[in-house]
Amino acid sequence: MDPFAMLGAPHRFDLDLAQVERTHRELSRALHPDKFSAAGASERREALDKAASVNEAWRVLRDPIRRAEALFAAVGLPIGETNEPKPETTFLMEMLDEREALAEARAKKDLERVASLGAAVLARMKQAEARLAAGFGEAAPTPEAVRPLLPVLGELRFYRRFLDEVSAIEDEAMES
């Protein structure tokens, strides 16, 4: 399934997500099971399958990591954490330092520091997304043209995990 084609979106990283969401809602309404209650079993099943595909396409396109994976797959590059080149050692060391600082802030219950670390990583994530947007901005990118962007996808994964941990710490603090 091509999530871009499913939702009528261009094969780009930088999407107008509001427009893609409108298309998703329109298709979801058109394919709603209630509209097919009087139809035959095969037609109901087909509409249900299409609705599931539309929903999955929306989940892919709204998630920057999954959207990048779909773009890499569309040009024939293997994706997934086990297939991607490892991030640079300097990047890994920086992330290790950030994680240690986050663990320290968590232990001290320093939510201001947690939020500050999260904001810094979010800014780095936005920069990585901008690099992907620039790299996938061509009309028909080639595998050779976008291969150097594969480590950026790995960086996004690190940033996402870090920000998930920041959210968990903030949720923990709200509960106590």
Q: What is the pLDDT of residue 7?
A: 97
Taking the domains of the chain in order of start, what are their residue ranges?
3-62, 89-175
Q: What is the pLDDT of residue 39?
A: 75
Is the separation of the CB atoms in 153 and 65 below 8 Å? yes
Rounded Cα–Cα distance for residues 31 and 129 (Å): 32
Q: Positive or negative CA dihedral for 143, 126, 152, 4?
A: negative
Confidence band for 134, pLDDT divided at 50, 70 and 90: very high
Average pLDDT of span 10-17: 94
Q: What class has domain 3-62?
A: mainly alpha
CATH number of 89-175: 1.20.1280
3-62 and 89-175, same CATH topology: no
**What mean pLDDT, rounded, does the chain reach?**
91
Q: What is the pTM of this model?
A: 0.87
- Secondary structure, 3-state, the chain: CCHHHHCCCCCCCCCCHHHHHHHHHHHHHHCCHHHHCCCCHHHHHHHHHHHHHHHHHHHHHHCHHHHHHHHHHHCCCCCCCCCCCCCCHHHHHHHHHHHHHHHHHHHCCCHHHHHHHHHHHHHHHHHHHHHHHHHCCCCCCCHHHHHHHHHHHHHHHHHHHHHHHHHHHHHHHHHC
Q: For 16-54, what is each residue's pLDDT tens digit?
A: 999 999 999 999 988 887 777 777 888 878 878 898 999
Provide the CA 139 distance to its chain's centre, in angstroms.
Answer: 21
